[in-house]
Structure 1
């Protein structure tokens, strides 16, 4: 399991957008975003750099 910091989520739709972006990364089996905690938890065998890039491509700031 991998946890990354995600900044900029302000609503449930934001969480869904981040989760969708992360689930699109090869090797991800599940992803859950939490706007209040400002992080996303990812299950599976995915490259952290690819996870950060996917979140940033979706319009949010991510830190591994």
Structure 2
């Protein structure tokens, strides 16, 4: 398992938090996704053999927010 913290632009409320967490957690291979609104990031724990960092970036984008690569 690998842990990454990804800066995400555009999150400002609990709806934003829930949208990003739900989209990222929906990926097969993601163990956890926890948004910190104050810091403007999401901490993701995932299995690198099942999901890529690009997949996670795409999921954040699908939720309507901008991951900072």
TM more than 0.5: yes
Larger CA Rg, structure 1 vs 2:
2
Could you say what secondary structure the match of 1:43 adopts?
strand
Q: Which residue in 2 is equivalent to 1:33?
A: 35
Question: Could you list the runs of 5+ residues in structure 1 that have no partner in the other structure?
Answer: none
Q: CA RMSD in A?
A: 1.0
Q: Which residue in 2 is equivalent to 1:59?
A: 64
Question: Could you list the runs of 5+ residues in structure 2 that have no partner in the other structure?
Answer: none
Partner Cα separation in structure 2 for residue 4 and residue 26 of structure 1: 18
TM-score normalised over the length of structure 1: 0.91
Could you say what secondary structure the match of 2:60 adopts?
helix
Partner Cα separation in structure 2 for residue 63 and residue 26 of structure 1: 22
CA apart distance, 1:27: 0.6
TM-score normalised over the length of structure 2: 0.85
Partner Cα separation in structure 2 for residue 62 and residue 44 of structure 1: 17
Could you say what secondary structure the match of 1:52 adopts?
helix
Name segments (4+ residues, structure 1) moved above 4 Å. none
